[in-house]
Structure 1
Amino acid sequence: MKIKQTIDKIPGGMMLIPLFLGALIHTLWGEAGEYFGSFTKGLMTGTVPILAVWFFCMGASIDVRATGTVLRKSGTLVLTKIAVAWVVALIAMQFLPVGGIEKGIFAGLSVLALISAMDMTNGGLYASIMQQYGTKEEAGAFVLMSLESGPLMTMIILGSTGMAVFEPHTFVGAVLPFLVGFALGNIDHDLRAYFGKATQTLIPFFGFALGSSIDLTVIWQTGLLGIMLGLTVIVVTGIPLMLADRFIGGGNGTAGLAASSTAGAAVANPMIVATMKPEFMPAAEAATALVAASIIVTSILVPILTAYWSGYVARKKGIRPGIAPAAGAISAPPSSASDKPKTV
Structure 2
Amino acid sequence: MNNRITLKKIAAEFNVSIATVSKALNDSHEISLKTKEKIQEFAKRHHYKPNKIALSLLNKKTKTLGVIIPNIMNSFFTEVFVGIEEKATELGYNLISCISNESHDKEVNTVELLKSGTIDGFIVSIAEETQINKNFSHFNDAINEGVPIVLFDRVTDEIECDKVIVNDFEGARHATDHLIKTGCKKIALVSIIDNLSVGKLRVEGYKQALLDHNIPINEKIIVRLNKKEDLETSMKIVLSDKSIDGLLCLEESSAIQSLQLIKSMNYKIPEEMSIICFTNGKLPQHVTPTITTISQHGKYIGEMATKMLVDRLESKSELEFTTKIIKTSLIERGTTFSLK
TM-score, with length taken from structure 1: 0.24
Q: Which structure has more RCO (C-alpha within 8 Å, separation ≥ 6)?
A: 1
TM-score, with length taken from structure 2: 0.24
Specify the structure having the higher radius of gyration (Cα): 2
Higher helix share: 1
